[in-house]
A and B are shown apart, each in its own frame.
Chain A
């Protein structure tokens, strides 16, 4: 695990991305503290995915910078990638590999030793209650299981921060909740969780939430304070109020 001495694990400074004359992300500034569950919300097209791709070192910023897990996304994007976990919207697992083979593959990619990989496979299968499914092809797993496995695989190298892009999209209410219990467990172990979702009940599970509108962070606070500020009963009301106003 990378050692972070400063009191933030993600810090964006005037982070900007332009595509031609369209500004997708417009000078955003925010910090995420270690161990925090940080909800990164916004409407479709507000700039969330673009911002997330910059923060994970996958897309170059047009302007500004961000430090993630101690590294600059401009200066050392490869070090950023090595220090973080990322679960993309599209699955990052290989359908034609078995459950344990996926864990082994990612362990290998992140440079774990054979011994570390073997113990990781056992740990993950046990935590997910999937020991009996070790030799099953990922293709044959229900969506909810795949998502839990993808999450654990994103954490295989014990990153300080994990980025989750709509991890619960399309799954049933019980699976959604058991996924969030995994998130809580990771956060308790000190992993910082940076998560996007369209389920606004899930925004309530975050320590702090930012809401992006048209490339700008329009609001950032704890769910409780946001609800107080906008005189809303739920995060759903806060979100609809902010996102609709701008359209």
Chain B
């Protein structure tokens, strides 16, 4: 049984009339790669900012490795790495100067913990004299991650590290997170990409300041109990509009080359095909499918 590393109990935070977090409780295990997913404004950033000791909760408690975020903030800041959602390094310093700066602030040197950041830093080292403001999005993220790790934290918190980042850099970043997890770090990460949620050990859905589910991605997918079909036709937009008007359809959303359709009962493929032809006038290819994490998330958002 893994030990609890982050303990969150009845955490609440308001901004004026807005309840950003409502009585949240959550445990994150030591060495876990833990994902938070939720719509914009759900409270993800607020939760992270409380955990990294940047803002205070109104009530409730949180502790990291037994240290309280409110009382022991000074200790914790030396042991937490945080990568905020907006690029927060010095744009007028070079790659190397930024890294040196953050190492110095934490009372260490680049050399002392180089083994931890080596694989990440190697990608950007050829450009070490380039100013941070002139880097592409993927390179900025690698530098920000290097700076967040330079003091060898036990707990790494990443707020949407892949937003605005291309698919190749996203794959690379997640490979790096996997390696950091192997090094023993506990990692909390938020993302709008559902394929990334699948790479986490466990995922929490956060919506309107409330955690509606915490589970392993596979468990979440298995729990999806509504009839789900992938459909396509010559003109998917027309098919989408047609499906939305059908009584038997609960929801229909674009999904890459298909439309994912949840129906109110289970139907045979031919039965459904006939209904779509009669009611929407469209000949569609239809097959039943298993839900992905994105299907689960979207269905939860509509509840």
The chain A residues found within 8 Å of chain B, CB to CB, are 42-46, 89, 142-144, 166, 169-175, 177, 180-181, 184, 188, 198-201, 204-205, 223-224, 234-236, 239-240, 243-244, 247
Contact = CB atoms under 8 A, between A and B. Distances in A.
Contacts of B164: 44, 89, 166, 169-170, 198
A240 B137 contact: no
Given A172-B192, A180-B254, A204-B256, A243 B40 contact: no
Contact of B167 (A142, A181, A200): A200
A174 B237 CA distance: 16
B54 interface: no
18 contacts: A42-B166, A43-B169, A44-B164, A45-B137, A45-B139, A169-B163, A170-B164, A172-B39, A172-B192, A173-B192, A173-B194, A174-B302, A201-B255, A224-B257, A239-B166, A240-B171, A243-B166, A243-B167
B169 A173 contact: no
A239 B171 CA distance: 12
A89 B163 CA distance: 12
A173 B294 contact: yes
Contacts of B302: 174
Nearest to A171: B40
A133 to B, nearest CB: 15
Question: Chain B contact residues (Cβ within 8 angstroms of A): what range?
Answer: 20 to 34
Contact of B168 (A166, A180, A243): A243
Contacts of A89: 164
A42 B165 CA distance: 10
B17 to A, nearest CB: 12
A235 B256 contact: yes
A172 B301 contact: yes
Given A142-B39, A143-B41, A198-B170, 17 more contacts: A43-B166, A43-B167, A44-B136, A44-B137, A44-B138, A89-B164, A142-B40, A142-B41, A144-B40, A166-B164, A174-B298, A174-B302, A200-B167, A239-B166, A239-B167, A240-B168, A243-B168
B264 to A, nearest CB: 19
Interface in B231-249: 236-237, 240
Contacts of A239: 166-168
A200 B166 CA distance: 9
Contacts of B194: 173
Nearest to B39: A172
Interface in B143-183: 160, 163-171
Contacts of A199: 193
A184 B237 CA distance: 7
Contacts of A243: 166-168
B101 interface: no
B169 A171 contact: no
A201 B39 CA distance: 18
Contacts of B298: 173-174
A45 B166 CA distance: 9
B160 A198 contact: no
Contacts of B168: 43, 239-240, 243-244, 247
In the complex, which of the residues B166, B171, B240 has the most CB atoms of chain A within 10 Å of its own CB atom? Answer: B166
Contacts of B87: none
Contact of B253 (A43, A169, A177): A177
A171 B256 contact: no
Given A45-B136, A175-B39, A200-B167, A170 B237 contact: no
Contact of A174 (B165, B236, B301): B301
Interface in B51-88: none
Contacts of A142: 39-41
B114 interface: no
B224 interface: no
A13 B254 CA distance: 34
Nearest to B244: A181
A240 B171 CA distance: 9
B40 A43 contact: no
Contacts of A180: 254
Interface in B192-228: 192-194
Contacts of A224: 257
A225 B193 CA distance: 25
Contacts of A234: 256
The 7 closest A-B pairs by CB, nearest first: A45-B136, A172-B39, A44-B137, A44-B136, A201-B256, A43-B166, A204-B256
